[in-house]
Structure 1
């Protein structure tokens, strides 16, 4: 948090005086940019910032993953964003043109099971028919919640290892019978574990339990950071 300066500019006697010729590191543009970049990398939404011609200006690590994934809907070529399905290119270009004029849109890009939802958001105020700043692309989440967030959630609520695995499977959309087959146990065992998880988390239903997990803040693995750089 940046220090607060009173309007009278009084200084506490126990606080050392700062050299007026030296700017604190916390106030420098480079420091703020570094902190902002780190904060964006902690989000589990893919973020791309483009100029109005579609050239990449900035991306967080999840944004890079969306553009390099084998089945991703978008790719980068010569610093410019393209879609992998040629039929999607006009859709993306139309959305970028609309964003340049200050209008938001929501796109479906990709084919079959690899369809991605992408929000296209203008940044800055439109001036003279085009956005004064840039365009933000926000990709939908790849999963309900990051694995590390689920792991910490399980630890906070004292779930057993087996209960944590069942919780992860539920958040992936699996039914109790499918979970039982995956782990080689009886369905009754899975239902008992689900009941225990609900009791420990005070969830009214499986839907409420998944909702709790879906609303968790992301905790992105350090391995993801290393893979993105």
Structure 2
């Protein structure tokens, strides 16, 4: 595997020096890295056959809400969704990035199709499929951020409620407290985090690194070696 030598940063070329003489991450380690990212990630070929997935993508496929794996092929819950997926794959195989919105009733899943090979290259084309994170408040980094800012459990709860889009009145009703109590907690939040407004606080939370909260026990997909599927 390629490995980046940090001493290469700041060179005249403006890029890191890449070494081939040092061992990089093994395949199993790389899969574990992908499993820790709070976005569903799949790699498919031009025929939509699934080559690799991370933990959250496997979870999304097995729930079958909007996408599924049929005979190890990425498909949609219905014909219309399958056609959108096919369109995204075709764009990516032509070297174009494509964003589609898969939707049934109130459930929506934005999906990005990213080409991993150039149309003029001789190797078999492959496509990176990125699924949106369903709920930013489930990001473990939010809890980590709360601890780093020394937020109390109630302040952390208010912060998460704000990120869910709730107003002060809604938060107060949900927790059975006075609105003045919630306003005091919001003020404390702003002071501890150094954010000048609720909007700024939400922007900061949404910009946190996507860390998966916990690896759930899940059945590995056929293309993922079972030794790399961990609970």
TM-score (normalised: structure 2): 0.80
| Structure 1 residues 73-126: Cα deviation after superposition (integer angstroms, max 9, x where no partner) | 101111001101322222211221221121211101121211111111111111
Which residue is 1:226 aligned to? 217
Which residue is 2:74 aligned to? 81
Which residue is 2:147 aligned to? 155
Which residue is 2:11 aligned to? none
Which residue is 1:39 aligned to? 33
* Shift of residue 3, structure 1, vs aligned partner: 9.7
Q: 1:80 to 1:214 in 2, by over 3 A?
A: same
The structure 1 residue matched to 2:163, chosen from 158, 164, 171, is 171
Q: 1:211 to 1:27 in 2, by over 3 A?
A: same
**Between Structure 1 and Structure 2, whose CA radius of gyration is higher?**
1
* Shift of residue 2, structure 1, vs aligned partner: 6.0
Which residue is 2:113 aligned to? 120
Gaps of 5+ in 2: 6-20, 220-228
Question: Residues 95-134 of structure 1 correspond to what in structure 2 (within 5 A)?
Answer: 95-127=88-120, 132-134=124-126
* Shift of residue 69, structure 1, vs aligned partner: 2.5
How large is the RMSD of aligned CA atoms in angstroms? 2.4
TM-score (normalised: structure 1): 0.81
Q: SS state of the match for residue 210, structure 2?
A: coil
Aligned residues: 204
Which residue is 1:182 aligned to? 174
Which residue is 1:16 aligned to? none
2:35 touches 2:56 (CA, 8 Å); kept in 1? yes
